[in-house]
Amino acid sequence: MARISIDPFETIPELLTRLRNPGLLLTCGKEGNPITIGWATLGVVWGKPIFTVLVRPSRYSFGLLRENGDFSVSVPAAGDKKMAKAVAWCGTNSGRDGDKYKGAGITKGDGIIIDTPYVAECPIHYECRRVNSNHVLDAEMDDEIRSRYYKEGDLHQVWWGEILGTWKTR
């Protein structure tokens, strides 16, 4: 299905609703390994539209992002139960164990601007170029957040991606 270019901020309400349920699919590396994410922000930094995503070092996707920081974020359609299942699957299985597209029953779409694929069943996707990256800092962490999310360490790395393109199925 053809994709048209849209403004990156046009779909924020939809994006945030899906981020909370069922989650979004971050794809990274040349293989476009899909990882479910529930934490992300979208806004303006350095005068650019920026998508920030947080990935723990223990994820297979982490190594892919370190190799090549470009990434896509695919947004499932509202009420798409099949995709909600695929998102849950990608959030509990690792690309280390095989092709997640096959495992989740989803399709790889070729990136339009970047080399990283996206999830074709998702009606909206963002294509981003890494412009910065940093770890969340333990020394600066709120105690409640540390004890809730970082008992075992594995502190997230934050990737800041300039949004090069936002695409929607026609």
Ligand X SMILES: Cc1cc2nc3c(=O)[nH]c(=O)nc-3n(C[C@H](O)[C@H](O)[C@H](O)COP(=O)(O)O)c2cc1C
Our CA angle for 74, 113, 111, nearest 5°, is: 45
Chain residues 51-80 in contact with ligand X, contact rule CB under 6 A: 54-56, 59-61
CA distances from 152 to 38, 57, 146 (A): 19, 12, 10
Q: How far is the CB of 2 from ligand X (least distance, A)?
A: 29
Residue 19, interface with ligand X (CB under 6 A)? no
Lookup: tokens for 52? 């920030």
Query: Cβ closer to ligand X: 94 or 133?
Result: 94
Q: What is the CA radius of gyration of the chain?
A: 15
Residue 35, interface with ligand X (CB under 6 A)? yes
Q: How far is the CB of 134 from ligand X (least distance, A)?
A: 15
Of 163, 157, 126, 165, which Cα lies nearest the Cα of 46?
163
Q: What is the CA 5 to chain-centroid distance, rounded?
A: 19
Residue 117, interface with ligand X (CB under 6 A)? no
Residue 166, interface with ligand X (CB under 6 A)? no
Residue in 94, 132, 133, 169 binding ligand X, rule: CB under 6 A:
94
Where does this chain bind ligand X (CB under 6 A)?
23, 33, 35-39, 54-56, 59-61, 88, 91-96
